[in-house]
């Protein structure tokens, strides 16, 4: 699977969090404890599994950090939702979480270019 396809996993995470904010509630399996675990999603499984062979490359290290930070931030948004603070959840999702999501996509594209020798 091309690395860039793994970006869709994080778009889905963001969509679920947005639905939680807009709906003011929880979705099964989307609580702060689960979300914080960066090895559970498809991208995390790849990063900590097959992708670990790229450890040490700046592109991989950026992806690893951005991905872990995304999950910490997403868990924070979920906790804000759990606590009923939907305004703060929306602000965090629209600000830091969105920026980290874009950073993941950027890191994935950079690593993909390295892995494929510049081919998509």
Q: What is the pLDDT of residues 20-36, one digit of tens each?
A: 888 766 666 667 888 89
* Dist CA 74 CA 17 (whole Å): 8
Nearest to 34 by CA among 98, 86, 77, 92: 77
Q: What is the pTM of this model?
A: 0.88
Does any domain span residue 120?
Answer: no
Does any domain span residue 27?
Answer: yes
User: How confident is the model over 59-74, as pLDDT tens digits?
Assistant: 999 999 999 999 999 9
* Dist CA 55 CA 116 (whole Å): 16
Does any domain span residue 23?
Answer: yes
- Tell me the percentage of the chain whose pLDDT exceeds 70: 88
CA 102 to mean position of chain CA atoms: 9
What is the residue range of 45's domain? 3-115
Query: Residue 66's domain is classified under what CATH number?
Result: 1.20.120
pLDDT at 120 over 60: no
Higher pLDDT, 115 or 61: 61
Long-range CB pairs of 106-110 (<8 Å, 24+ gap) are 107/59, 107/62, 107/63, 107/66, 107/67, 108/3, 108/4, 108/6, 108/7, 108/43, 108/63, 109/4, 110/59, 110/62, 110/63
Does any domain span residue 86?
Answer: yes
Question: How many domains is the chain partitioned into structurally?
Answer: 1
pLDDT at 31: 77
- The CB density around residue 92, as the number of other CB atoms within 10 Å, is 22
């Amino acid at each position: 699977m091309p690395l860039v396809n793994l970006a869709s996993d994080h778009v889905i995470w963001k969509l679920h969090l947005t639905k939680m904010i807009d709906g003011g509630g929880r979705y099964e399996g989307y609580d702060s404890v689960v979300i914080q675990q960066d090895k559970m999603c498809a991208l995390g499984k790849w990063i900590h599994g097959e992708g670990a062979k790229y450890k040490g490359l700046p592109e991989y290290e950026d992806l690893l950090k951005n991905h872990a930070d995304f999950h910490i931030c997403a868990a924070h948004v979920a906790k804000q939702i759990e606590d009923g603070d939907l305004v703060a959840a929306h602000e965090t999702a629209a600000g830091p979480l969105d920026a980290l999501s874009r950073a993941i996509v950027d890191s994935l594209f950079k690593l993909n270019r390295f892995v494929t020798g510049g081919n998509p």
